[in-house]
Structure 1
Amino acid sequence: MEKKLTIAICTYNRVKLLLETMESLAMLNSIKKAEVLIVDNNSSDNTESEVAKFIQNANYEIRYINEKRQGLSFARNTAIEHSEGKYIAFLDDDAIPDSNWIESIIQFFEVNDEVYAVGGKIIPKFETERPSWLVEGLEYSYTIVDLGEERREYPGNLYPFGANMAFRRSVLEKYKFPTHLGRKGTTLISGEETWLFNKLKEENWEYCYIPNMVVKHFVPVERLEKDWVLKRFYFQGVTKKLMCTNRTENVKSVIEMFLKYIYTCVKGPFLQDEGEKLLNQCRQNSIRGFCNYFFKKSS
């Protein structure tokens, strides 16, 4: 039977979390309409052997692929090349989808021909208590997304997140994820999803948020340290520079960073809330990341 949906899970050295996600898929409604691709991005733990054991007793179709080229974009592109579904969904290896997740994707695409990609709600599953300093402005760094209970466009510069997004095959046959962007091993470079959705914008291909496409996303204790989120923002700045492909984009980004720097310097002394102070520091750290990489590449 033709599979309606390919579920692509890219993983790197997180076998315990991966197995929990794979186990959760067995409980999904309509799992028989899907195939699951596990793309191991050159893990050094026992991912391959543990996935092989799981496949022996699985009640749904799973294929394992080892992508030696380090980088999330390489892994995602490999998943696309090996996929057979009419639609392709990406799910993080530490995300647990709602029981109707598969059907929410398939049904939406089947009745909305004008939409080429979708993203959904991402609910955090904290390993420990949520820190008091984790204010709304920091939530997207933790892939926390809740845009309400109605279908809607993504606001501003927000796009579907890789932990929970799906595409028509035609999109990914034309565009692949850029391999100079995205996580490589433990680095925090990102931007590959933004790059792809900017391409959809250029094509006037519609994408949107659908509220019934829900996953719970694990947030480990080590990411609940201020140092981690400061580092995350630093690499957002590095990513910003990596996404500049010509002189015009460089000039525009330099002006943007300068204005952001002035804003944070003026605002900083008046902040009282711990979380808002941290958010301001994070914004300054993203400027630092951009500038450090800018001058490194210019030298």
Structure 2
Amino acid sequence: MVHDQPKPRVSIVICTYNRADLLQITLDALPALTAIDMAEILIVDNNSTDHTREISESFALRQAGGLRVRYLFEQTQGLSAARNRGIQEAKGEFIAYLDDDAVPCLEWIRTIVDTFDHRHDVYAIGGMIRPKFESERPAWLIKSLELPYTIVDRGEDVHEYPINKHPFGANMAVRKTFHDTYLFPTDLGRKGTLLLSGEESWLFEQMKQERKTILYHPSMVVDHFIPDNRLTKDWIKQRYYYQGITNGSMHKGFMSKIALLVNVACRVLYIAVNALFAHTEGEKLLIACRMQSIKGTLLTMRSRVKMRLTG
């Protein structure tokens, strides 16, 4: 019986919004994972209007008496709000975040538990995220454009993330004790179909300031689905534009804004120089994307000034 099972070590939090069919594939992969008996599965439905509830409840019913599965409905729109609900409901020592369109490798849970157990200084772990394209990879998708598609391969060695890098939400795990102090900021992150971000960067910045170790582990692998409707130049440029909006939103103090403006000026110069040497389709697209990011940043900062002058 489920109530006789020991407390879970890992709480797998899957936040989802209107992607029931992809969620079905993710859920169906979980029972086969090594050490799945050490985990609970929390499906956080972020106000979906499709058949997400039916998919989730059907899965939970099929696993009754075996896997611990809970379906949660979070009405407040936004990925950060959904993740925070998962954190509040989680019973495990470690919270493992998995996207609703990602399938973990068989050793995913075992890698998370063993790493945290052997490295008490480690407060977060990230791993490899391999793309699973719906059809085929476009010729213009060069290495420099991979991160917006959450394609991550940092090699075959276990190592700490460098100062300017951190895990991605499609495949990361955090000690729950850290979340006792820090939740995800709800003014950042995806909201419905808006491509805002920044909530993970903020969280890991707090972790770095507290000198907690953040580890990359190559055995922590997920395959991440990339649909054809994202494999367009318009989508990737929009993704960069919203990243720029995020950057502008995160700088709130006067000195912080001055530093951001200096950074933008340096980036414009860097982009202008690089544009002289951009010859391939992918290199030219990267220049256009970076300009969209700067446009988003400047428009956000200008709108904030207008709000202050008229507010």
CA distance in 2, matches of 1:273, 1:211: 31
**Alignment-derived partner of residue 175 in structure 2:** 168
Shift of 1:269: 3.1
1:7 to 1, 12, 15: 12
Q: For 1:17-45, what per-residue CA distance to the aligned partner results, in whole angstroms no more than 9, with x for missing partners?
A: 00110000011111111000000000111
Shift of 1:267: 2.1
Shift of 1:231: 0.3
Q: Alignment identity in percent?
A: 46
Q: Aligned residue pairs: how many?
A: 299
User: Is 1:42 aligned with 2:47?
Assistant: yes
Look up the equivalent residue of 2:302 and give its one-letter code. Answer: F
When normalised by structure 2's length, the TM-score is 0.95
**Alignment-derived partner of residue 259 in structure 1:** 266
Shift of 1:193: 0.2
Look up the equivalent residue of 1:46 and give its one-letter code. Answer: H
**Alignment-derived partner of residue 309 in structure 2:** none
**Alignment-derived partner of residue 184 in structure 1:** 191
**Alignment-derived partner of residue 119 in structure 1:** 126
1:16 to 12, 21, 24: 21
CA distance in 2, matches of 1:160, 1:254: 27
SS of equivalent to 1:175 = coil
Look up the equivalent residue of 2:232 and give its one-letter code. Answer: E
**Alignment-derived partner of residue 103 in structure 1:** 110
Look up the equivalent residue of 2:256 and give its one-letter code. Answer: E
Look up the equivalent residue of 1:19 and give its one-letter code. Answer: Q
1:29 to 30, 34, 51: 34
Look up the equivalent residue of 1:104 and give its one-letter code. Answer: T
CA distance in 1, matches of 2:156, 2:278: 32
CA distance in 1, matches of 2:252, 2:108: 37
CA distance in 2, matches of 1:166, 1:270: 40
1:150 to 140, 151, 157: 157
Look up the equivalent residue of 2:45 and give its one-letter code. Answer: D
Shift of 1:245: 2.4
**Alignment-derived partner of residue 99 in structure 2:** 92
**Alignment-derived partner of residue 232 in structure 1:** 239
**Alignment-derived partner of residue 215 in structure 1:** 222
- Which deviates more, 257-266 or 195-204? 257-266
CA distance in 2, matches of 1:157, 1:276: 23
Q: For 1:201-253, what per-residue CA distance to the aligned partner results, in whole angstroms no more than 9, with x for missing partners?
A: 11011111011000000000011001000000000100001111211111111
Look up the equivalent residue of 2:99 and give its one-letter code. Answer: D
Q: CA RMSD in A?
A: 0.9
Mapping for residues 134-149 of structure 1, pairs under 5 Å = 134-149=141-156
Q: For 1:129-153, what per-residue CA distance to the aligned partner results, in whole angstroms no more than 9, with x for missing partners?
A: 1011111111000000010111112
User: Is 1:56 aligned with 2:61?
Assistant: yes
CA distance in 2, matches of 1:193, 1:98: 23
CA distance in 1, matches of 2:273, 2:172: 37
CA distance in 1, matches of 2:215, 2:34: 23
**Alignment-derived partner of residue 248 in structure 2:** 241
**Alignment-derived partner of residue 3 in structure 2:** none
Shift of 1:156: 4.3
SS of equivalent to 2:276 = helix
Q: For 1:151-176, what per-residue CA distance to the aligned partner results, in whole angstroms no more than 9, with x for missing partners?
A: 11223421100000001111111100
Look up the equivalent residue of 1:226 and give its one-letter code. Answer: K
User: Is 1:204 aligned with 2:207?
Assistant: no
CA distance in 2, matches of 1:80, 1:123: 26
Look up the equivalent residue of 1:23 and give its one-letter code. Answer: D
Look up the equivalent residue of 1:158 and give its one-letter code. Answer: K
